[in-house]
Structures are given as structure tokens and as C-alpha cells.
Amino acid sequence: MLPLHESASPTQRSANALHELPPGQILRIIFDYTAKIADEQSLQRVLSLMADMGQQMILADRCAVWLIDHKHQEVYTTVAHGTEEIRIPIGSGFVGYSIQHGEPLLIEDASADYRHNANNDHKTNYLTRTVITVPFVGNDGHILGAYQAVNKQSPGHVFTQRDLEFLTLAASYAGKSLESVMLHEEIVATQKEILLTMGQIGESRSKETGNHVKRVAEYSYLLALGMGLDSEQAELLKMASPMHDIGKVAIPDSVLHKPGKLTAQEFELMKEHTVIGYRLLNKSNRRLLRHAARIAHEHHERWDGSGYPRGIQGEAIDLFARITAVADVFDALGSERVYKPAWELDRILALLQEERGRHFDPLIIDVFMQQLPALLAVREQYRDMK
């Protein structure tokens, strides 16, 4: 076993030195990758870039970024070259030890070290020989996780003190960006949870289940991808669409819960939920809430201009609202309501085709039909329990 911070033997150092990258090239790798990492907002992409950076810098066979899952008391990596996600108890293995004690580790012979978690090798059919593990420290001094390189790819096959120093340098540069992206994703997840909960509150006022807004969100996501939107835009729609009926919180129960047909006056009152929802959400400068405001305002507009509240038509209607409209009607028709039983699927599909180019954007209906198997799978997954 190689003690902490001790370098390899002179013979091994000599063999490694012939195949090491020069310091200038290593620094270029660090600066090139950290520049890319600083521009990223996707945690998964940041982790992948960091793993690639470590692998290239010190000629490792594999490199991984481990994060802490405090809820389950585990450390895990979703990015490790050649493997799927790995999870281990928070104090186990080299990475667990490094995180728990806040110390870097430089290990020559993993099999001879009592901290080695051999179960991971058995699971992945891999032989860990030499390891470097460096903890990531956040701005306030708390440990976020660890950077780990496994198996040196050089004639000496042993990591050196030089490798440890460069990996530590890379961890220092990239760790700040990692923390920022983790915070960003936590904020986004919180926003998503709040919007979904608020959407469920709006639906509960009209005696709908929370699964309605979940289904509409998932349908909207699939339709957006089918329309050619990128995954970021589709995810944005998925997060915003649950707010489409938030304005119903201000509609009287006598109208929302009326089992029969609404009078003309009651229907005018019901239509106000679109304007109310818009006014509730449009005050924010946040992109997510502004999208939600437009969806709430325009998801009852019609392609031919006969909808409400403004009677706009065609592509003047917000695309997210047009997609949500199809998702909402599909789910509403297939669900039991106080004023109607659930429709059969064939009847729903016939109506959607009939309203193609009248109520609905024709292209979205075409995409809907293409995506129907996936949409039905979502409906089954989030079906209402009786």
C-alpha cells in the first residue's frame, strides 16, 4: 500500500515520467475544460466534463465525480467511465473515507488497503489497482463530494504525487462551478415542486385529482419533443403547464361544481379563470412563471380564433399554450367529471381529428397521433385511483 501523499518508487516514477503530459498541456486541459464547465447549467453535463478532464489530465483509465445523497446516507456517481450509476454507503470505500475525513488519498495497491470496497469491482467486473480521491469543498467549507481517478494508463501503472496535485488543482477550479450548478438544479427542482403543488390546488377547487396536472405536464413534454423542441424547452413546458388552470382558485364553487350545463352568465364567469391566472403569474420576471402566465391566459384560445379570452388565432397563440390545450382536452375528455362520464378513447381521437385546424393546431394533432402509444403509457402510469 502507498501511504497518504507518498510517491511511487524511483523506477516507477521514471517509467511514468516518459509518458506524462507536460505541465503546460495539463494546465491547458484544465483551463479549457473549466471554461466549458463554467458555461454549463446541466449537472449531468458538468459531471461528464469533469470526468473527461480528469481522465485526460493524468492518464486515468476511469474518472468519476461522486456526490453525497444525505437523504439515503449514500455517495453516488452517475458519471464513471464504462459503468452505470454506482451507490455505496456514505462512509465506505476510498471515496467514503475521503469525504468523511476531508482528506485526499493516493493509493498504489487498492487490493492491499482495508478501505477498498471490492464489491464495486465485483459488480462492474473491473479490477481497481491504483486510485486517487480528492474531496470537493464548497464555498462555505462543507464537502460536496469527491473527484476520483482509477488505474493509471502508463508503463508504471501507478499514480504519482504530481497526479494528485494536478487533480486537486482541477477539483479546486471546477468545484465552484459544480456547486453553482447543484444550487441551480435545486432551485429549479423547488420551483417545479411549487408549481406542481399550486397547479394541484387549482385543480382541487374543481374536484379534479392531482394526477390531472401530472398527466397534462407529461403529455405536454412528449408533444413538445415531437414538435421538435429541444429537451430544455420541453422541460420548461412540463414545469409551466401545471399552472394552466390556477385561475380557478377565484371561481365560485357554485360554478366550478355545477353538475349540469352552465348558463351563459356562469360560463362568462368561468372564462375569467384564464385572465385571473395570467394576472397572478405575469408579475414575475422569471422565465418559467412568464411562460406559465401565457399558458394560463391562452390555453382556451382556438386555432380558428373562436376561443377565449381574446379570440386570437393561429400562431398568434403561444406555442406552449397550444400544446397544453391539446394535452388538457385529451385528459379532460378521458376523465370522469362532475358534469360528464369519461369518454372512450375512440371517441376522443375522433373529436381531436374533427377539431384539427379548428380548435387545435393541425401540426400538434398530427404529432399527438404519432405519440399516442407514449401518451397512453403516461395515462396508465398516472391513472386516477378510485
pLDDT in tens, 144-186: 889 899 999 876 778 989 999 988 888 887 777 787 777 777 7
* Residue ending a domain, choose from 117, 152, 183: 183
5 with 145: CB under 8 angstroms? no
Say which DSSP state 78 is in.
S
Q: Angle at CA 254, nearest 5°, toward 251 and 256?
A: 50
- Domain of 91 in residue numbering reads as 10-183
What percentage of the chain has pLDDT greater than the value 70?
87
pLDDT given at position 202: 61
Amino acid at position 370, single letter: Q
- 194: in domain: no
Annotated catalytic, 36? no
Query: What pairing do the DSSP bridges indicate for beta strands 86-89 and 105-107?
Result: unpaired
pLDDT in tens, 71-91: 889 888 876 666 677 888 888
> How far is 269 from 275, CA to CA, in rounded Å?
11
Domain count, the chain: 2
- 228: in domain: yes
The three grid cell numbers given for residue 168, joined into one nine-digit string: 486537486
Say whether both 214 and 123 belong to one domain: no
* Residue ending a domain, choose from 168, 183, 198: 183
The three grid cell numbers given for residue 231, joined into one nine-digit string: 429537451
- 191: in domain: no
Query: Is the per-residue pLDDT at 4 higher than 60?
Result: no
pTM over 0.75: no
Say whether both 346 and 215 belong to one domain: yes
- 44: in domain: yes
Say whether both 216 and 171 belong to one domain: no
Query: Is the per-residue pLDDT at 107 higher than 60?
Result: yes
- 260: in domain: yes
CB neighbours (10 Å) of residue 193? 11
* Residue ending a domain, choose from 137, 168, 183: 183
Q: What's the whole-number mean pLDDT along residues 29-33? A: 84
Say whether both 263 and 374 belong to one domain: yes
pLDDT in tens, 291-340: 999 999 999 999 999 999 999 999 999 999 999 999 999 999 998 776 67
Query: Is the per-residue pLDDT at 209 higher than 70?
Result: no
CATH number of domain containing 65 = 3.30.450.40
CATH number of domain containing 374 = 1.10.3210.10
- 158: in domain: yes
Query: Is the per-residue pLDDT at 234 higher than 90?
Result: yes
Query: Is the per-residue pLDDT at 220 higher than 90?
Result: yes
Mean pLDDT score of the chain: 84
Q: Which of 207, 248, 271, 386 is catalytic?
A: 248
Least confident window among 188-197, 209-218, 372-381: 188-197
pLDDT in tens, 128-146: 899 999 998 877 778 888 9
pLDDT given at position 176: 74
- 89: in domain: yes
Instruction: Please tell me the number of Cα atoms within 13 Å of 163 on its side-chain side.
Output: 36
Furthest C-alpha separation in the chain: 92
Q: Is 135 helix (H, G, I), strand (E, B) or coil?
A: strand
- 199: in domain: no
Q: What's the whole-number mean pLDDT along residues 267-285? A: 91
Say whether both 117 and 222 belong to one domain: no
